[in-house]
Amino acid sequence: MIRAGFNRSKDGYIRSFTLTGHAEFAEHGKDLVCAGASAVVFGSVNAVAALTGVEPDIELADEKGGYFSCRIPGNLEKEASAQIQLLLEGLVVSLQTIEADYGEYIQVISHDE
């Protein structure tokens, strides 16, 4: 199962998120849940960098995969922070949409700091 955990500050802002595990919906190369989750995660992180100029801190697992971590830098300008939050909330909605249909393969959780 893929577990997507979003860490939120007291004011509700997403400060970091981590995806761990494998969906195991289908064999490697044919796993639609994995492909969908990967596409929206990488697309969202790329959008943050391209549209705001802010480079998130990214950590990936080795060749076996199954781990992706993203941390948003602190002390951002208000406009950049608002844009990043909108993109990340879109990511949450996208992953929750996948979870709604494939909940036994992906779980989305928010944690408050």
pLDDT for residue 62? 66
3 neighbors 21 (Cβ within 8 angstroms) = yes
111 a catalytic residue: no
CATH at 65: 3.30.70.1490
Nearest residue to 85 via CA among 7, 11, 13, 10: 13
Structural domains counted in the chain: 1
Per-block average pLDDT, block size 10, for the chain (113 residues)?
A: 97 96 91 96 98 97 84 96 98 98 97 81
The whole domain housing 79 covers: 2-112
70 a catalytic residue: no
pLDDT for residue 61? 87
